[in-house]
Amino acid sequence: MTTAPPTTAPASVPVPAAQAIQRVGVVGCGVMGAGLAEVCARAGRDVLIVSSSEAGLTRGRGRLERSLGNAVRKGKISEAGREETLARVTYATDLGSFHDRQLVLEAVPEHEPTKLDIFQTLDKVVEDPDAILASNTSALPVIRLARATRRPEHVLGLHFFNPAPVLPLVEVVSSLLTGERTRRTAAEFVTEVLGKQAIHAGDRSGFVVNALLIPYLVAAIRMYEAGYADARTIDNAMTLGCSHPMGPLALADLIGLDTVAAIASALYEEFKEPTHAVPPMLSRMVDGGLLGRKSGEGFYSY
């Protein structure tokens, strides 16, 4: 684990111990929301997913079922384990259903007004004053989400990686207002309950991973846009030459091109570095609904 970032919140803010967190809420059931719900339910937690529409919930349930089917095929869980996991997950369209949650993980698209609205509502509906409210944001300032609530010391970032059931890392992101016990309990939940690895990161756009990853993906898109090499050549260069599990364009498709563009914009806004500027081709692909795997078309067809 890296050194903890500075925090000014009092150390005595009460929060539940990690193992005592049994009821988890997940806001959003896109790729990341469904993945987070799966990870928590597989760790034996009661998970309630809230999405704004029934159609969204149906798609999310499908994602969860496919991923668990995959886990059974790969021998990671038994058929009974799959059934038990699915039985631990319930679905709703109203954030008010979160009244009894002890931990809420927000995983909606990187649109700040939407996230602010959600945190404001969570603050009103989650009854346990000690509950932890976490965002899976990749690049937005956690402190702004914290200030949308009256309990900023209980708000932090828990940033998972796609595919969440497979990748072991979680960035635990403390804002200047996050309480020390919130940070410690959240990190313990990540490591001891979910069995993942945690690193602590400060509240700076991109944290550790995306601050390094996004300039690389943007550079690959610029190379492709300039016609220097085709998508397969660029991706083969990095899988075969550097032993990455997938090349940058295939990875951008996996993450979602809208998400890559949103993170790059947030990084650009924070640092004003040309390496973060969204390439015109990426903007046009997003405008055109070519979002990668989730839409069926991106740098590749799916």
CB 87, min distance to ligand 3HC, A? 17
Nearer to ligand 3HC, 101 or 293 (CB): 293
Q: How far apart are CA 90 and CA 75, in angstroms?
A: 25
Considering the candidates 154, 159, 200, 276, report the single residue annotated as catalytic. Answer: 159
Burial 205-229 (b: 16+ CB within 10 A, else e): bbbbebbebbbebbebbbbbeeeee
- Has 171 been annotated as catalytic? yes
| 196's tokens | 């993942």
- Report CA-CA distances (Å) from 274 to 74, 95, 265: 42, 39, 11
Residues contacting residue 16 through CB under 8 Å, at least 6 positions apart: 102, 128, 130, 131, 132, 185
Find, among 96, 97, 87, the residue nearest to 45 by Cα: 87
Cis peptide before 16 (omega within 30 of 0): no
- Has 110 been annotated as catalytic? no
Nearer to ligand 3HC, 72 or 125 (CB): 72
CB 266, min distance to ligand 3HC, A? 11
Strand partners, 169: 197
Nearer to ligand 3HC, 57 or 209 (CB): 209
Strand 103-106 and strand 89-92: pairing?
unpaired
Identify the residue among 91, 98, 161, 268 touching ligand 3HC (CB under 6 A): 161
267 is an interface residue for ligand 3HC by CB under 6 A: no
Stretch that binds ligand 3HC, among 5-13, 14-22, 141-149, 160-168 (CB under 6 A): 160-168
162 is an interface residue for ligand 3HC by CB under 6 A: yes
Strand 169-174 and strand 132-135: pairing?
unpaired
Identify the residue among 49, 255, 266, 278 touching ligand 3HC (CB under 6 A): 255
* DSSP code of residue 2: P
Considering the candidates 135, 138, 175, 205, report the single residue annotated as catalytic. Answer: 138
Identify the residue among 166, 176, 199, 229 touching ligand 3HC (CB under 6 A): 166
Identify the residue among 33, 56, 165, 292 touching ligand 3HC (CB under 6 A): 165
CB 251, min distance to ligand 3HC, A? 5
Nearer to ligand 3HC, 41 or 223 (CB): 41
Q: What is the dihedral of CA 266, 64, 17, 171, to 10 degrees?
A: -30
Nearer to ligand 3HC, 119 or 161 (CB): 161
Task: Quote the distance between the C-alpha of residue 257 and its chain's center.
Answer: 15
> Which residues contact ligand 3HC (rule: CB under 6 A)?
67, 70-71, 74, 76, 138, 161-163, 165-167, 210, 213, 245-246, 251, 255, 259
**Residues identified as active-site:** 138, 159, 171, 210
